[in-house]
Amino acid sequence: MIPFNKPCITGNEKKYIHEAILQNKLSGDGPFSQKCNEWMEERLGCNKTLLTPSCTASLEMAALLTEVGEGDEVIMPSYTFVSTASAFALRGAKVIFVDIDPKTMNIEPAAIENAITKRTKVIVVVHYAGVSCDMDKIMEIASEHRLFVVEDAAQALLSTYKGEPLGTIGHFGTFSFHDTKNYTCGEGGALLVNHKPSIERAEIIQEKGTNRSQFVRGMVDKYTWRDLGSSFLLSELNAAFLYAQLENANQIYENRMQTWKYYYQKLYPLMEAGYIKLPTIPEECMHNAHMFYLKMKNGNERQALMNDLKDNDIMAVSHYVPLHTSHAGKKYGAFIGEDHYTTKESEKIVRLPLFYGITKEDVDYVVQCTQAFFSS
Ligand SMILES: *Cc1c(COP(=O)(O)O)cnc(C)c1O
């Protein structure tokens, strides 16, 4: 069976976990966490990163930092993972789902503008498949209406928009290190605090609502309860694992990109023949080969291809069921504007196996089976 995903292991993970055990500090914000933060701050050129237990936790921190609550509205795509919405619904805000651009499956700026009301406080963008949203337009809309922008960059570490790393453009950016993502530590995440006035509060929220970070730096002589917060730190064991991956980030990137380009090149004739559509990468975007997907004509064809691949021992998967059609999505949110593309296009997506170290033989086999599906 060719799996859909295999967590990436590059070599130093065990060694660094062993070092973490010997350093007598397993809780968060230790030496390995600092190394990971320094790596991200230097590589991405951002002010402040905080390692968290997940991208979900990072989104929850971002929701606290934007101070949204009952009566406020948060605009986001319906075509995304549950956590994008749940983090803001947890604060009592109403989730406003809007349509996407079918070329990238990213939020459509015109649909954002159409959904803005006096109650709107935040725009959450999702860089689907590590391909950037139209950030110039979105930041312009946000500044015109004085809104916060949160980038759900869960899939987008090391992608750029006009040369700017994703996650560093909005007021807050969030990454995931779940084992389905390019760089992993099992479960983990990061919050980028690009909005400087929020840095101190972000540290307090991460430390259960206390000013412990200031205490550790010797800035105050005891720490106390200052604000709402939770336990939003990543264990040093996970940070040690993650650091091994970040050190080898270029190697992981190159390997995934090679597979991505190979799929694209081999499946291109099927697009020319009109059987499928392949991802569009806008000129101003550099992506990170997070995902290789193709689009079928409709949901039935998609299921047929996935079944056929499964019969050939290949795991191909689909996602997302649009959130506005889900049980909780209806309760905590509403779709504003026309659903031209969200439902229709989401039914067409098939994701092919793509992970660090997948062999050329396996990729060739996936390509062959996909081609065979259309010739029969
Ligand atoms: C993976 C993912 C998340 C959730 O990440 P976790 O680290 O598992 O919490 C959130 N948003 C998007 C778009 C994702 O792809």
Closest ligand 1 atom to the C-alpha of 180? 1
User: What structural domains and CATH numbers belong to the chain?
Assistant: 13-247 (3.40.640.10), 249-375 (3.90.1150.10)
Intervals of the chain under pLDDT 50: none
Q: From the CA of 188, how far away is ligand 1's center (Å)?
A: 10
Any residues with Cβ below 6 Å from ligand 1, and which?
54-56, 80-81, 83-84, 126, 152, 154-155, 176, 178, 189
How far apart, in Å, are the Cα atoms of 129 and each of 139, 150, 180?
20, 17, 12
Nearest CA to ligand 1 atom 2: 154
Query: Which of 55, 60, 84, 290 has most ligand 1 atoms within 8 Å of CB, for mutation?
Result: 55
- In three-state form (DSSP H/G/I as H, E/B as E, the rest C), the secondary structure along the chain is CECCCCCCCCCCHHHHHHHHHHCCCCCCCCHHHHHHHHHHHHHHCCCCEEEECCHHHHHHHHHHHCCCCCCCEEEEECCCCHHHHHHHHCCCCEEEEECEECCCCEECHHHHHHHCCCCEEEEEEECHHHCCCCHHHHHHHHHHHCCEEEEECCCCCCCEECCEECCCCCCEEEEECCCCCCCCCCCCEEEEECCHHHHHHHHHHHECCECHHHHHCCCCCCCCECCCCCECCCCHHHHHHHHHHHHCHHHHHHHHHHHHHHHHHHHHHHHHCCCCECCCCCCCEECCCCCCEEECCCHHHHHHHHHHHHHCCECCECCCCCHHHCHHHHHHEEECCCCCCHHHHHCCEEECCCCCCCCHHHHHHHHHHHHHHHHC
Q: What is the pLDDT of residue 376?
A: 82
Q: From the CA of 180, how far away is ligand 1's center (Å)?
A: 9
What does the block give as tokens for 286?
Answer: 């550099």
CA distance 291 to 245: 18
**Residues 6 or more apart from 37 whose CB is under 8 A from it?**
49, 50, 51
Nearest CA to ligand 1 atom 6: 55
Q: What is the pLDDT of residue 233?
A: 98
- Phi and psi angles of residue 198, each rounded to the nearest 5 degrees, phi first: -95, -5
Q: What is the pLDDT of residue 119?
A: 98
Which of 64, 39, 57, 59 minimizes the C-alpha distance to 49? 39
Contact indicator for 150, 62 with CB cutoff of 8 Å? yes
Q: From the CA of 222, how far away is ligand 1's center (Å)?
A: 35
CA distance 194 to 101: 26
**Residues 6 or more apart from 303 whose CB is under 8 A from it?**
none
Q: From the CA of 376, how far away is ligand 1's center (Å)?
A: 37
Contact indicator for 329, 323 with CB cutoff of 8 Å? yes
Burial of 282 (0-12, 13-18, 19+ CB in 10 A): middle
Give the global pTM. 0.98
- pLDDT digit string, tens, across residues 82-108: 999 999 999 999 999 999 999 999 999
Q: From the CA of 81, how far away is ligand 1's center (Å)?
A: 6
Closest ligand 1 atom to the C-alpha of 128? 13
- pLDDT digit string, tens, across residues 297-312: 999 999 999 999 999 9
Q: From the CA of 189, how far away is ligand 1's center (Å)?
A: 9
Strand 94-98 and strand 333-335: pairing? Answer: parallel
